[in-house]
Amino acid sequence: MSTPRDEDRLMDHKYDDIQEYDNPLPTWWNVIFWATIIWSIIYFLNVIPGVGSGKGRQALYEDEMAKAQELYGSPEQQAEAAIDEGAMAAALADPAKLEAGKVVFATTCSPCHNMDGGGNIGPNMTDDYWIHGNSPKAILTTITKGVPEKGMPTWAATLKPDQIANVAAYITTLRGTKPAVAKEPQGILMTPDGQPAGADSGAVK
C-alpha cells in the first residue's frame, strides 16, 4: 500500500482491545465510488446514447419484433410457407425424409398422439376417421395452425416448413398400422384420397 505507515496513526480508542487506524479511504475506492454515482445520474437522465434505457423497453421490444418480421415474415406468412403440398409429396417419396418426420413425431407429437400414433389426448392417426380432413392440404393446415381450443397446439412458429412436411408425410404412412392401444375413432370416415367415404360412413363424435 502506498499509504504512510499507519502504525503512527492509531486512533486513541480501544474496544475490548480492538484498535482502529485512522487511515484515509483508499484513493481507488473513492474514485470508483464517485464514478458509479456520476454514471448512475447520467443513466437515470437517459441523455447520452448507450448510457440509459434509451427509448425504453417497450419501444425496444417493438423494434425487435418489427426487425424479425422483416427478416422472417409475419406469423401468417410463416404458416402459409409451411403448407406446402409439394414438399409433403416429396417427403413421402424419400425414406430419409420420412425417417426425419418420424423423429419429429416421436419427440413432439407422441405425448398426445402416442409413439405409435394410436392416440390418447389427440386422435388416433392410424384409422380412417378424421376430424379436420386427411387431404395433404388439410393435414398440413391442422399441423401448422393447430386447433388450440381443442388442445392441438400450433406448430408453425416452432417447427420448420420441412419438418412439418416430413411429419405430415410420416403420419399418412401410419394408416392401417396396428397400434398397441387404439383410441376410438373421431371425426368422419375418409377415403385415402381425402374424400368423405359417403353418406353412410357414419360420423363418429
Partner 1 sequence: MNAQLDSFKYDDAIVRKFLVATFVWGLVGMLVGLIAATQLVLPSLNVVPWLSFGRLRPLHTNAVIFAFAGNAIFTGVYYSSQRLLKTRMFSDALSAAHFWGWQLIIVAAAITLPLGFTQSKEYAELEWPIDIMIAVVWVIFAVNFFMTIARRRERHLYVAIWFYIASIITVAILHIFNNLSLPAGPFKSYSMYAGVQDAFMQWWYGHNAVAFFLTTPFLGLMYYFMPKAANRPVFSYRLSIMHFWTLVFMYIWAGPHHLHYTALPEWASTLGMIFSVMLWMPSWGGGVNGLLTLRGAWNKVAEDPILKFFVVAVTAYMMSTFEGPMLSVKSVNALAHYTDWIIAHVHTGALGWNGFLTFGMVYWLLPRLYQTKLYSNKLAEVHFWIATFGMILYATAIYSAGVQQGLMWRAFDETGRLQYPDFIETTMKLMPMYWMRVAGGTLYLAGMVIFGWNILKTWQSRPAKYEEPVIQAAPLERKPGESGKNVFAGFSVAGHRRWEALPILFTVWTTVAVIVASLFEIIPTFLIQTNIPTIASVRPYTPLELAGRDIYQREGCFNCHSQMIRPFRYETERFGEYSKPGEFVYDHPFLWGSRRTGPDLAREGGKYNNLWHVNHMKDPRAVTPNSIMPAYPELLTQKLDFNTIQKHVDAMAMLGVPYGELIKDGAAIEAARTQAAEVAADIESTDPNLTGLADKEITALVAYLQRLGVDIKKANEVAAARLPAGGQ
Taking the least distance from each CB to partner 1, the nearer of 151 and 192 is 151
Binding of residue 152 to ligand HEC (CB under 6 A): yes
Length of the chain (residues) = 205
Q: Which residues contact 47 (CB under 8 A, 6 or more apart)?
A: none
Query: Which cell numbers hold the place of 114?
Result: 402416442
Find where cell 454515482 sits: 37
* Residue 150 in the binding site for ligand HEC (CB under 6 A): yes
Q: Is 123 in the site for ligand HEC (CB under 6 A)?
A: yes
Give the nearer residue to ligand HEC in terms of CB position, either 43 or 137.
137
Q: How many CA atoms lie within 13 A of 71 on its CB side?
A: 6
Beta bridge partners of 8: none
By beta-carbon proximity to ligand HEC, the closer residue of 20 and 99 is 99
Tell me if 146 sits within 8 A of 157, measured CB to CB: no
In 3-state terms, what secondary structure has residue 73?
coil
Kindly state whether residue 143 participates in binding ligand HEC, applying the rule CB under 6 A: yes
Contact mark string toward partner 1, 23..42, x via CB under 8 A: xxxx--x--xx--xx-xxx-
> Nearest CA to 92 among 5, 154, 27, 170?
170
Distance CA 35, CA 29 (A): 10
Question: Minimum Å distance from CB 194 to partner 1?
Answer: 26
Residues that bind ligand HEC (CB under 6 A): 108-109, 111-113, 121-123, 130-132, 139, 142-143, 147, 150-153, 155, 167, 171, 186-187
Residues that bind partner 1 (CB under 8 A): 1, 6, 10-11, 13, 15-26, 29, 32-33, 36-37, 39-41, 43-46, 52-53, 56-58, 60-61, 64-65, 68, 71-72, 107-108, 111-112, 120-121, 148-151, 153, 157-160
